[in-house]
Amino acid sequence: MDIKAITNSLYFPKEIKGKKSEVTSEEKNKDKFVISDEAKLLQTSSLDSKRLSEIRNRLDGKFYDKQDVVDQVASSILKEITGE
């Protein structure tokens, strides 16, 4: 009977492509984030001041608190979730 050892080298490789997997202390202390292309697109497309003012007026006037508006928003969310 031949018993082979189980190693964790699959999960913790000692070398990657011939290079030792060393991380300097400076690299360990750095956080990194990446902004997706979609987020970059959203960032560049801005609302014009007229549209933004209109939205603010609707919020101040409690337009979005009306029951028919709440029903319409809920219906749209439900359609999106169910894929209809």
pLDDT reported for residue 14? 56
The 10s digit of each residue's pLDDT in 43-52 is 766 667 788 8
Q: Residue 19 is inside which H or E element, if any?
A: strand 19-20
Q: What's the rounded Cα separation, in Å, for the pair 65 and 72?
A: 11
In a domain, 12, yes or no: no
4-8, 9-13, 40-44, 59-63: which is most confident: 59-63
Sequence letter at residue 63: F
In a domain, 28, yes or no: no
Instruction: Answer yes or no: are the C-beta atoms of 58 and 64 closer than 8 Å.
Output: yes
- What mean pLDDT is predicted for residues 50-74? 91
pLDDT reported for residue 67? 95
Task: Using the Cα atoms of residue 13, residue 19, residue 21 and residue 27 in order, give the sign of their dihedral.
Answer: negative
Q: What percentage of the chain carries pLDDT values higher than 70? A: 62
Q: Residue 28 is inside which H or E element, if any?
A: helix 25-28
In a domain, 41, yes or no: no
In a domain, 11, yes or no: no
In a domain, 10, yes or no: no
Structure tokens that stand for 4 in this block? 């082979």
Domain enclosing residue 84, as ranges: 47-84
The 10s digit of each residue's pLDDT in 19-52 is 555 666 666 677 888 888 888 777 766 667 788 8
In a domain, 6, yes or no: no
pLDDT reported for residue 60? 95
The structural domain count of the chain equals 1
